[in-house]
Amino acid sequence: MSPALPEGEPVPPDGSLPSWVASGAGGTVPATRGFGVYLHVPFCSVRCGYCDFNTYTASELGGGASQASYASTALREIDLAARVLHDAGLPERPVSTVFVGGGTPTLLPAGDLVRLLGGVRDAWGLAPDAEVTTEANPDSVTPESLAELAAAGFTRVSFGMQSAVPHVLATLERTHDPRRIPDVVRWARDAGLQVSLDLIYGTPGESLDDWRASLEAALATGVDHVSAYALVVEAGTKMAAQVRRGEVALPSEDDQATKYELADELLTAAGLTWYEVSNWARTDADRCRHNLAYWRGDDWWGIGPGAHSYVAATGAAPAGASPEDARVGVRWWNVKHPRRYAALLEAGTSPAAGRELLTRTEGRLERAMLGVRLREGLDLAVLSPAGRHAVAGLVANGLLDGRAAVAGRAVLTLRGRLLADTVVRTITDE
């Protein structure tokens, strides 16, 4: 069961943005801030017991929503998005990154994903070096489907490998054969696509040797990007109920820390460098630029049920606003169920369920929370005086790099990466 949407203020039926987002005729977008598009495909063949994403199997959809019609429905929102941004008076710019996530996007025919990318291209244009990624399960692609995506402009695929160990995959309720991983990586590369593998550590019953085997299997493919995430069991999921009943036991924090350290050791030895707490890449060009855009505060429009969007203000603050209360951006989110999402767009209405208007203080906190997770670190000037004062203690405790702090940046040490949430709480405690 996916989490509830946040509370927020109503969004106008036409989806229009607040006037202050582009206040004044001379609003400009900094050259360093890109514009990304996230396309959510909310379908899965089965629901994994640990997953709380906004996804649906065929039996959960109900009438009024279908995989077959989804691309046409999402194209309606792309048209609405283009109109809303134009009517807001925001400067036009091409899309720098596109990320198709889910769910399992490749449950849709490759032709539908191509249509969606075509809709983005028609609405805004793509930057010449645009990164275009789709997520995929290893059992949901063929050499032909990957070649079709690459020919249409996709540049990257992220496979949900999760583990190379059958009993771990069974606990996670993943359906693919781990022996297929080298094949799908080769097919994607033959098509000219960059490849990332996603791994999960800390599954109940996973030993350290199991985790080592998964890392070594991923590296044996020669892949240039790996994401490794600790399993988090969210309330309301099937696995949470299993834990509550004592049917499975979660690993200790020490176990997860040991597995993270092993991941960093093996990935680094193989030539992949961490650039975000859970992500490693062989070169800067192999990093996921779309995710970097989130962490650095770029603009994006999320298409699909439950998708979130964010646009920063480009103009001057409204008259009378104090510096800290001035609105610096707007975030909104769509209704969750595909049936409701489709009905609203069919009626010519925005599918947004609510929005929040971020103040300068809130924007600064978000920049700190996200930016400190990056290898490049966070400019200490972003922090409040209290946050800057806390840096010395974090350096003394071995969580932040001392030399970087002297140079004006908060950069996590390896121990700091293990305790990143603690670092974030400490530097953002107002």
Please report, for the domain that includes residue 139, its CATH number.
3.20.20.70
What is the pLDDT confidence band of residue 55, given thresholds at 50, 70 and 90? confident
Give, in degrees to the nearest 5, the angle at Cα 51 between 47 and 53: 95
Averaged pLDDT of the chain: 91
Report which of 307, 350, 300 is spatially closest to residue 77, judged by C-alpha positions: 350
In a domain, 145, yes or no: yes
In a domain, 305, yes or no: no
Q: Which residue has better confidence, 317 or 132?
A: 132
Instruction: Give pLDDT, residue 51.
Output: 75
Residue 54 confidence (pLDDT) above 90 = no
- Partners of 39 in the beta sheet? 100, 303
Out of 266, 293, 320, pick the residue that ends a domain.
293
pTM for this structure? 0.93
Q: Which residue has better confidence, 173 or 322?
A: 173
Query: 398 lies in which domain range?
Result: 377-429
In a domain, 107, yes or no: yes
Instruction: Give pLDDT, residue 30.
Output: 60
Residue 334 confidence (pLDDT) above 60 = yes
Report which of 400, 402, 397 is spatially closest to residue 417, judged by C-alpha positions: 400
115 and 262 belong to one structural domain: yes
287 and 385 belong to one structural domain: no
280 and 406 belong to one structural domain: no
What is the pLDDT confidence band of residue 163, given thresholds at 50, 70 and 90? very high
Q: Give the range among 20-24, 93-97, 258-262, 372-376 with minimum mean pLDDT.
A: 20-24
Residue 26 confidence (pLDDT) above 70 = no
Burial of 182 (0-12, 13-18, 19+ CB in 10 A): middle
283 and 394 belong to one structural domain: no
Q: Which of 13-27, 49-63, 294-308 has the highest mean pLDDT?
A: 294-308
112 and 204 belong to one structural domain: yes
Query: What's the whole-number mean pLDDT along residues 404-417?
Result: 98
Cβ–Cβ < 8 Å for 233, 246: no
Query: What's the whole-number mean pLDDT along residues 120-145?
Result: 97
Non-local CB neighbours of 361 within 8 Å, separated by 6+ positions:
324, 325, 430
Q: Which residue has better confidence, 103 or 98?
A: 98
65 and 196 belong to one structural domain: yes
In a domain, 322, yes or no: no
Out of 293, 321, 356, pick the residue that ends a domain.
293
74 and 210 belong to one structural domain: yes
In a domain, 266, yes or no: yes
Percent of the chain's residues with pLDDT above 70: 92
Instruction: Give pLDDT, residue 344.
Output: 97
Instruction: Give pLDDT, residue 314.
Output: 77
Query: What's the whole-number mean pLDDT along residues 156-182?
Result: 96
286 and 387 belong to one structural domain: no
Residue 109 confidence (pLDDT) above 70 = yes
47 secondary structure, DSSP code:
-
Residue 5 confidence (pLDDT) above 80 = no
In a domain, 23, yes or no: no
Instruction: Give pLDDT, residue 240.
Output: 81
In a domain, 184, yes or no: yes
Instruction: Give pLDDT, residue 62.
Output: 60
Instruction: Give pLDDT, residue 97.
Output: 98
Non-local CB neighbours of 125 within 8 Å, separated by 6+ positions:
94, 95
257 and 391 belong to one structural domain: no
Count the domains in the chain. 2
281 and 419 belong to one structural domain: no
Helix (H, G, I), strand (E, B) or coil at 221: coil
Query: What's the whole-number mean pLDDT along residues 205-215?
Result: 97
Instruction: Report the alpha-carbon distance of residue 136 to residue 102 in Å, rounded.
Output: 9
Non-local CB neighbours of 182 within 8 Å, separated by 6+ positions:
220, 221
Out of 293, 319, 340, pick the residue that ends a domain.
293
Instruction: Report the alpha-carbon distance of residue 98 to residue 37 in Å, rounded.
Output: 5
Give the burial string for 281-297 (b: 16+ CB within 10 Å, else e): bbeeebbbbbbbbbbbb
